[in-house]
């Protein structure tokens, strides 16, 4: 049970490190955006025939794409708020 707790603590520490460092945060945002664009492109041009064969495939694929898009937007909003806070603290 302690291994699970230490994994959780190390994951929290990693996330905190990424979120608090502007450069790491921006790199993570860029990777997330690249992943989103790749998933969109795959859905539009790569597997469009496969998605068209079953409505559930279509719904699940584009639902996951929508969730990823919401994640990217939330990440960007967090970055904006964090930058504003950092700039306010400078003065």
Please say whether the beta carbons of 24 and 17 come within 8 A.
yes
Contacts of 18 (CB under 8 A, 6+ apart): 24, 25, 28
Per-residue pLDDT of 69-83, as tens digits, reads 999 999 899 999 988
> pLDDT tier at 24 (50, 70, 90 boundaries)?
confident
Q: Tokens standing for 91?
A: 């003065």
Helix axes 22-41, 2-20, angle to 10 degrees: 100
pTM listed for this prediction = 0.75
């Amino acid at each position: 049970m302690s291994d699970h707790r230490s994994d959780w603590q190390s994951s929290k520490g990693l996330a905190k490190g990424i979120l608090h460092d502007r450069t790491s945060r921006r790199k993570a945002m860029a990777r997330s955006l690249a992943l989103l664009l790749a998933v969109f492109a795959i859905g539009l041009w790569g597997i469009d025939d496969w998605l068209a064969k079953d409505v559930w495939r279509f719904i699940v694929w584009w639902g996951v794409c929508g969730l990823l898009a919401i994640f990217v937007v939330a990440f960007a909003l967090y970055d904006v708020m964090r930058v504003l806070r950092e700039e306010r603290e400078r003065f």
